[in-house]
Structure 1
Amino acid sequence: MTVTRYLPLIAAFTVLQAGAATIVSETVQRPEGPRHYLLAQPATPVAGKLPLVILLHGHAATANLTFGRGRIDDPAAAWLAVADREGLLVVAPDGSKGSDDKQGWNDCRADAPTNPKTDDVGFIAALIEQAVAQHHADPSRVYLSGASNGGGMVYRAAIELGPRLAAVAVSSMLMPAKSLCPLPKRAVPILVAHGTEDKIAPYAGGEVGHFLLTGRGSGLSAEESVKFWRELAQLPPTPAVTQVPHRDAADKTALVRYVWGSDPQGAQVEFLKMENAGHVQPSIAHRMSWLMSSILGQQNGDVEYADETWAFFKDKRAAP
C-alpha cells in the first residue's frame, strides 16, 4: 500500500492554545475526501526529531473531545501536558461516520456493520508520513493509542502497520471474536487497560455495546486479548505483578499492573487491570461527571493514563 500519492496535504491552520501545548488544525487529502486532525506541539520549540503519538478516539467521539475541547473532560487531554513536558508531537484525528451516523473507525470486527468503510489504516499511514515530512517526527518513535473503537483500530494498525510502530496502547477494547483482518505475523509492544466492570466492552468478552448501542460486534475477553499478543511476542507466561498504590479510600476501584518482558526497550506486554472500573481510562486530573460515570462505569483515580502510557512508550523504538 502506498500513501505518497495522496500527499501533499492541505495544511490548515487555525492555531489554538489548550493546556500546555499549541494545537494546530490540519487536513489530509484521502481518496474518500479531506480528513481532519489536530496536531499538538510543545509550546517551546524542541531541537531535533520528535516522538509522535497518535490518539484514536472512541465511537461517537471527536478529535476536539480528545484534546478536552468538548462537554466531557476526556482523560486523553492529559497528553497536552505530556507533549510539552516531554517534547512530543501528539496527533488526534477524526474518524469517519458509519451507517449509524456516528464517527468512528473501520477496525477488524466483521460483525460491526455500523463501522465506517474508510481506509483508516491508509489514513494513519498518511498522518505518519505528514508528521515525518513536515513536523520533524522521528520515524523510529511512532506510537499509537486508542480508546474503545479507537482501541479496536489500534489492534488493526498493529497488524497492518506493525513495522512502522514502536509501541501501541489499547484501552477499553477487545480483540475481535470475528475478524476481517489476517492474524498478525509480527509482535508489537503493547499496553492494554481494561475495567472489570466494563458494560460496553465486557471484560469476559462477548457482545460489544449496550441496549442503546447495537451493531457493534463482539470480542474475545480482555485477558484473552492480552494473551494473544503475549504469545505472539513469545514472552513467558508469568508476569511481574504490581498493585498500584491507592490514592483515595472513597474510590472503590483499584489498579493491578501485569508486565511480561523485563526489557523496556524490547518486546514487552503490559496489562493494566482496572478492578471495579468501567469503560473509561484512569485519570487523576480529568474526572468523569456523575452522569458519565452512570453510563460508562466508575473511573479509577490512581494514575494519569497518559503518563502511564508514555512511561511504557518512551524507551521503545521501531526495528530498523
Structure 2
Amino acid sequence: MRTNLSVAGRPRSFTVVGDPDGPEERPLVLVFHGSKQNGEAHRRFTGGTLDQLALDGRAVVVYLDGYRGNWNDARAASSFPARKERVDDVAFARAVVDSVSGTHRFDARAVVGVGYSNGGQMVFRLLHEMPELLAGAVVVAATMPDREGFLAVFSETSERPLPFVLVAGTADRIVPFEGGRMAWWARAVFKVGGVTLSAPATADYFARRNGITTEPSVSLLPVRHGGTNATRMERTAYREAGREPVTLYSVLGGGHTVPGATPAPAVLGRTGTDLHIDEIVGDLVVALTRSA
C-alpha cells in the first residue's frame, strides 16, 4: 500500500507491506534505501526478501522514499539535495510511524530501523537524534562518521541502549571496511565526503553505548547450501548480561551489498549468502516480540 503525506510542507511517500489486522505485538520495520534509490527500487534490489517478514505476520514492513534519491543524514560532508534543502527526514520517520499506526496494528514500542548505505547513515542519525523512536537497528554497508564529521552528538553513552546489528563487506569499494575516506570517484558520484570509522570500530562504538565492557566473541558462520567460500560471513558478537547486544557480520570478500539470495550488480562486489538480510532482521524482530 503506497501512501503519500506532507511533512514540513514537502510531499513524501512510503509503501507498507503487511496485513492491517495482523497481531498487535508484531514490530514495525522501517527500511531506508541507499543513494540513488527509492523504496521500491531497494525492494527490487534485495529481491523483496524483507516482505517475507510481513507476509508471515512477524512484522509490518515499510519502505520509505528519500528526497530525490537520498536521505539528509548526519554526515557533515554530504552535499546532495536532501542536505542542501534541509529536508527534515527525522520528522518524516516519525510521521511515517504515526501514519502507519492509524492503518495497521503493531507494537509502537518495537520499531526497527533497517538502513543500507545512505539509509544506514540515516539510521545512525535517528539513533542519536530521536532514540525514543527505535527499539532496534540493522545497518548494512555504512559505518559511523568520525566525531568531527558527525552533525549529531557523537556520544559513547546512551540513555536508550538497544540491540544493534552491523553488516559490512571487507572488500567494499564504496564504504571502506577499514574506515577512512571514500575513494575520490565515490565521493564524486555520491556527493559525500569526510572520514568514517572502520566497521569493527563502529561496532565497538555501539557496544560502548550499550555499556558492554567484555571482549566480543568471533565465529565463522556455516556455509549455506549452495553458497560460496568466496563470501563467507563472520560474526563478531558483543554480549554481556543485562546489556543490549551488538553484532557485526563481516562479509569476507563482500562488497557494497545486502546479504541474501539476490546478488547485487557485479560493480558493487560480491554478495554474502551464509545469512540473509531477512534472517538478520527476523532474529531481531523475534527478540523484540519476546520481550514485549
Which deviations, in whole Å up to 9, do the C-alpha atoms of 1:187-246 show, x marking residues without a partner? 332100000100101111122365151531231111111111111111124123221111
Q: Distance in 2 between matches of 1:144 and 1:214?
A: 22
Q: Which structure 1 residue ranges, 5 or more long, are not aligned?
A: 1-23, 69-73, 98-102
- Is the counterpart of residue 202 in structure 1 residue 176 in structure 2? yes
Instruction: Work out the percentage of aligned pairs sharing the same amino acid.
Output: 23
2:79 corresponds to which letter in structure 1?
P
> 2:104 aligned to 124, 135, 145, which one?
135
Which 4+ runs in 1 deviate beyond 6 A?
none
Aligned to 2:127: 158
Count of aligned pairs between the two proteins: 280
The correspondence for 1:231, drawn from 208, 211, 215, is 208
Shift of 1:253: 1.2
Equivalent position of 2:15 in the other structure: 38
Residue 309, structure 1, aligned to residue 281, structure 2: yes
Instruction: Indicate if the aligned counterparts of 2:53 and 2:60 stay in contact, CA closer than 8 A.
Output: no
List per-residue Cα deviations over 1:15-65 (Å, max 9, x = no partner): xxxxxxxxx01012111411011000149x524343100000000011111
Give the Cα separation in 1 of the matches to 2:23 and 2:223: 38
Deviation digits for residues 52-100 of structure 1 (CA, Å, limit 9, x no counterpart): 00000000011111222xxxxx226101112112432100010002xxx
Q: Indicate if the aligned counterparts of 1:191 and 1:270 stay in contact, CA closer than 8 A.
A: yes
Task: Tell whether the 8 Å contact from 1:200 to 1:210 is kept in structure 2 after alignment.
Answer: no
Single out whichever of 272-281 and 159-168 deviates more from structure 2: 159-168
Q: What residue is the counterpart of 1:62 in the other structure?
A: 38
SS at match of 1:61: coil
Contact 2:123 2:139 in 1 (8 A): yes
How large is the RMSD of aligned CA atoms in angstroms?
Answer: 2.3
Of Structure 1 and Structure 2, which has the larger fraction of its residues in strand?
1
Which has a greater percent of helix?
2
Paired with 2:190 and 2:43, the residues of 1 have a C-alpha distance of: 27
Q: Take 1:266 and 1:235, find their aligned partners in 2: how far apart are those partners?
A: 6
Structure 2 portions without partners, runs of 5+: none
Which residue matches 2:165? 191
Contact 1:207 1:216 in 2 (8 A): no
Q: TM-score, normalised by structure 2?
A: 0.88
Question: 2:115 maps to which residue?
Answer: 146
**Shift of residue 125 of structure 1?**
0.6
Could you say which structure has the greater relative contact order, defined with CA pairs below 8 angstroms and 6 or more residues apart? Answer: 2
2:189 partner amino acid: L
Which residues in structure 2 correspond to 1:77-96 (within 5 Å)?
77-96=48-67
TM-score, normalised on structure 1?
0.81
- Report the alpha carbon displacement of residue 137 of structure 1 after superposing the two structures with TM: 2.2
Q: What is the one-letter code of the residue matched to 1:31?
A: A
Choose which of 256, 262, 267 in structure 2 pairs with 1:279.
256
